[in-house]
Structure 1
Amino acid sequence: MGLRLSILDQSLIGEQETAVLALNKTIQLAQKAESLGYHRFWVSEHHNSEKLAGSSPEVLISHLLAKTKTIRIGSGGVMLQHYSPYKVAENFNVLASLAPGRVDLGVGKAPGGLPLSTKALQDGRFDNHKDLWEKLVDLKKFVTDSLEPHHPFYGLRAEPVSPEPPELFLLGASVTSAKLAGELGYSFVFAQFINNNETVLEEAFEVFSRLQERKKTEPISFILALSVIVADTDEEAKQLVTNSKIFKVHLERGKTVTLGSLEQAELFGKQANENYRIEIQEASILAGSKKTIREKLQKIQNVFDLDEMIIITPIENFEDRLKSYVLLSEAMSELPISR
């Protein structure tokens, strides 16, 4: 069985670099990914971050579509809690009309930033307390132009309605997210680079698979998102692993958010204005030579019968990051990348 490989890029801003340079590198990486045969190229949404340039995936996607020809381009993902489903549908319907058959709409549940940026994003423009379930339902109906007569917005269309609407995905790292995706008919991307608990992954896969069987009319799939670093040797790859810890902020009301640094985690806790605790975990990064990574990914593919994996490579140096994706493509050449 062929394995599709895709990329999630966060537009990393390196030391002594600018956002302009980081975004230009994202363009270069998307073009290289296309030439290497990667299936999708996704960009993330992060707010008020000095290290990540991608705060508006819709704008960046539009530019990337214009700079590429065949690779699918999408969001990994739009943080729907901040926005009107109708406006998100309009944005992505425009993109899908500009490049029919090439647009993905990945939706995330996380805030994509600290509480202060969340407050600014949600400043009184609509009902911010609308349930995420309801937003996901509405988003799908707007994107597919399938509002029922009893819906309060029946008769409203998210123009332009594309003949090939964007493909829908829900991103998450829990059983709850997998269940939500399966019940609503979204393909699900499990972020293993955020949650490497094997028990949770297995249960999420089982729950989603059961629900997927019930929705055979909808072609939804389970995709695994992994952090992977490939170098010429195992030792060189291990040397490229930096910032190998993740920081989980557990808020008193039960919410958990994952951050990339202790400083960001502490700041999140303070801005949340409630009791919190910080849990430090080792980041889950697969690092090794082409042979090592090929064997590891084959094993994972066989366990979960996967058609696709989305790869994020957390290397700050762009040349090393680019080389890692080239080597990964070469490593998996024995498992032909399905287009």
Structure 2
Amino acid sequence: MALKFGILDQSIVFPGQTPAEALGNTIKLAQLAESLGFERFWVSEHHDSPQMAGASPEVLISHLLARTEKIRIGSGGVMLQHYSPYKVAENFNVLASLAPGRVDLGIGRAPGGLPRSTKALQKGLTEHDSLADKLVELEHLLHGSFGEDHPLAGLQANPLPVQPADIYLLGTSVSSAQLAAERGYPYAFALFINNDPEAARVAFETYREHFNRAKGAEPRAILALSVIAADTEEEANELAGHFKSVRVTLASGKTVNVGSLEQAEEFAKQAGETYTAEVRDADITRGTKDAVRKRLLELRELYDVDELIFTTIVPDFEKRVRSFELLKEAFEEQPA
């Protein structure tokens, strides 16, 4: 099977930019991804963060579908823990009716923000179903209605599309891989968030070993990672800068990944808990197109994945575009 490529864009508001400009660049990148022949383009969900303009992936996906023609557009991801599966199904059934066969519903397990945004999103919520239970409900609503023994029997998330959105599960741990396997979903491991190679290896092994083929699907493993390609090694290293990955462990045992020690401190403060933080250099695949291609093929082999999704955090938009163009050139010139 040929290796497929996608882009995950976080609509980052870089210094000197407005949120409107950041969203405008997201639109341009989706159109670029389509022109380059990438498989899909995903947008993220972040809350209470002035540095991220993508608070509502459903709304942004709708606009991106209208501004493109063929490429798959989706969420990377919708944070289902905050929402009613019924409303998520309605949103994505509308999207799938507008653009049949082009909509991906990536589900994330992270909060997408600090504790106060989680509190605000879940204000008034009386039921706290597990993510697994919510996924079962969501799947029913995307494809029809519940059975007669369900309390909401007969309920439909209209309009029911001819081609419902495809569900993907996103994660950074073995538990997310296990859940994706049980539900028979494609699984994307976010190496750009949890840059622990051993965690990624075990997650993908767990996913393939326990995959439920009862629905007729085959496992589809996706690796999401940070990539920066440039015309020279020196430029790539300069663009990569000094990004850090900080893993926060609260006293309760809950873990979360943030981008700085300041964010770690704020997260713990809002959670009202003591914490420990582990700081790592961000794992960014960087270099010339040939060097990057070599490394990406090594990662494909290492994790036995079917697809790579790139996130490229470069403030200079033209150099971000150049990075994606170089990636395309690298694999066109030397087919995998």
* Length-normalised TM-score, structure 2: 0.96
What is the RMSD computed on CA atoms of the aligned residues?
1.5
1:243 Cα deviation (Å)? 4.2
Deviation, structure 1 residue 172: 0.4
Deviations 1:236-284 (A, max 9, x none): 1111012421112111111101111222111110000122122211111
Tell me the CA shift for residue 201 of structure 1. 1.4
Q: Partner letter of residue 201 of structure 2? A: E
How many residues are paired up? 336
Q: 1:215/1:206 Cα in 2 relative to 1: closer, same or farther (>3 Å)?
A: farther
Change (3 A) 1:2 1:87: same
- Shift of the alpha carbon at 1:135? 0.9
Which residue identity lines up with residue 18 of structure 1 in the other structure? Answer: T
Q: Tell me the equivalent position of 2:158.
A: 159
Quick check: 1:39 aligned with 2:36?
Answer: no
- Pair 1:198-2:205 in alignment: no
Q: CA deviation at 1:117?
A: 0.8
Match of 1:51 in 2: 51
Shift of 1:35: 0.3
Secondary structure at 2:119's aligned position in 1?
helix
Determine if the alignment matches structure 1 residue 261 to structure 2 residue 260. Answer: yes
The TM-score normalised by the length of structure 1 is 0.95
8 Å CA contact retained: 2:14, 2:51: yes
Share of identical aligned residues, percent? 55
Structure 1 pair 147–335 and aligned structure 2 pair: CA distance change class (3 A): farther
Shift in CA distance, 336/75, structure 1 to aligned 2, threshold 3 Å: farther
The equivalences for 1:199-238 within 5 A come to: 199-212=198-211, 214-215=213-214, 217-238=216-237
| CA drift at 1:218 | 2.1
Which stretch of structure 1 is more off in the superposition, 94-103 or 147-156?
A: 147-156
Distance in structure 1 (CA, Å) of the matches to 2:231 and 2:134: 45
Spell out the pairing of 1:126-137 with structure 2 (5 A cutoff).
126-127=126-127, 129-137=128-136
Name the residue aligned to 1:98.
98
Q: Secondary structure in 2 aligned to 1:319?
A: helix
Query: Residues 305 and 215 of structure 1: is their aligned pair in 2 closer, same or farther, counting only changes over 3 Å?
Result: farther
Asked if the contact 1:231–1:289 (Cα under 8 Å) also holds between the matched residues in 2, the reply is yes
Q: Distance in 1 between matches of 2:212 and 2:129?
A: 29
Moved more, 259-268 or 214-223: 214-223
- Separation in 2, partners of 1:111, 1:171: 13
- Which residue in 1 is equivalent to 2:315? 316
AA paired with 1:83? Y
Instruction: Provide the rounded CA distance (Å) in 2 between the counterparts of 1:320 and 1:177.
Output: 34
Letter in 1 for 2:139: K
Deviations, residues 73-119 of structure 1 (Å, cap 9, x unaligned): 00000011110011001100100000000000001011111111111
SS in 1 for 2:118: helix
Structure 2, gaps ≥5 residues long: none
- Give the partner amino acid of 2:5: L
CA distance, structure 2, for counterparts of residue 24 and residue 114 of structure 1: 26
Structure 1 residues 198 and 268, CA gap change in structure 2 (3 angstroms): same
1:300 lines up with 2:299 in the alignment: yes
1:29-178 maps to which residues of 2 (within 5 A)?
A: 29-127=29-127, 129-145=128-144, 147-178=146-177
CA shift, 1:125, in A, is: 4.2
Letter in 1 for 2:246: F
Distance in 2, Cα, partners of 1:264 & 1:211: 36
Moved over 3 A (4+): 213-216, 334-337
Q: Secondary structure at the match of 1:154?
A: coil
